[in-house]
């Protein structure tokens, strides 16, 4: 079996619309499972007509909580994004790296913010 696997997002979620957290969680779980198994994964956004940052946060950003940046860079490739969507992905990745590098501090800050609003 090949060590390189291509996931066509539109086929996996059954839609060209990348807007649902349920769909993005499905993508995350599939990619996470393959990367854990040592596979090299290409995530293809071919035939995707709409993409929102929340989808990328869950599908790709969440990977930074499971894997090091080195593992992600080595085993993950993304293709089929417009230049605007590629910029969006860069922002998502930068935010994910910041968040997962100091998750407890960010979570504590959110909890404190929530308790101040009550």
Provide DSSP, 88-102.
Answer: HHHHHHHHHHHHHHT
Taking 80 as the threshold, does the pLDDT of residue 1 lie above it? no
Q: Give the pLDDT confidence of 51-86 residue by residue, as tens digits.
A: 999 999 999 999 999 999 999 999 999 999 999 999
Interhelix angle for 103-117 vs 83-101, to 10°? Answer: 90
Cβ atoms within 10 Å, residue 57: 19
CA-CA distance, 37 to 77, in Å (whole number)? 16
Q: Are 44 and 80 in contact (CB under 8 A)?
A: yes
Question: What pLDDT is attached to residue 118?
Answer: 58
Q: What is the C-alpha end-to-end distance of the chain, expressed in Å? A: 55
């Amino acid at each position: 079996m090949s060590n390189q696997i291509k996931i066509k997002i539109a086929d996996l979620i059954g839609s060209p619309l990348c807007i649902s957290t349920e769909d993005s969680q499905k993508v995350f779980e599939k990619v996470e499972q393959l990367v854990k198994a040592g596979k090299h994964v290409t995530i293809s956004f071919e035939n995707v007509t709409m993409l929102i940052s929340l989808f990328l946060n869950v599908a790709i950003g969440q990977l930074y909580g499971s894997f090091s940046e080195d593992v992600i860079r080595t085993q993950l490739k993304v293709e089929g994004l417009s230049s605007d969507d590629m910029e969006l992905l860069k922002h998502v990745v930068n935010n994910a790296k910041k968040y997962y590098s100091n998750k407890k501090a960010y979570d504590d800050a959110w909890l404190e913010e929530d308790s101040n609003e009550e």
